[in-house]
Amino acid sequence: MYDPGDAGYEEEFDADAMAWVRGVDYVAGWREAVNAGEALAEALAAAGVDVSGLMLRAETGPDGAGRVRVVLSAGAAHQMAALVRSAADRWGQAS
């Protein structure tokens, strides 16, 4: 399991890194991004992708929606692309 406390996972919420809009729940979006990042890292590891150099950053957009920034090695990106192509082929969605 990929633990957000592991190296390469940035989970700190930086309240000063953005302009705030009254009534937008940025913390909920950020928390969702943390959860989505954990799920993505775990799925990639379970699929055999080398996640040793994986870096994830949870953040929110101006509308409060969660975002996950992903940085991975070129080799891991090739592995991930192959997985997505394989899944698209199985689902009949390959172009």
- In this predicted model, what pLDDT tens digit does every residue of 64-81 receive, in sequence order? 999 999 999 999 999 999
Within 13 A of 46's CA, how many CA atoms are on the CB side?
A: 8
Q: Is the pTM of this model over 0.75?
A: no
Q: What 3-state DSSP class applies to 88?
A: helix
% the chain with pLDDT above 70: 76
- DSSP secondary structure string, 15-69? GGGS---TT--HHHHHHHHHHHHHHHHHHHHHTT---TT-EEEEEE-TTS-EEEE
pLDDT of residue 25: 87
Q: Span 24-50, mean pLDDT?
A: 93
Which is it for the CA torsion 33, 38, 44, 46, positive or negative? negative
Which one is predicted more confidently, 32 or 16?
32
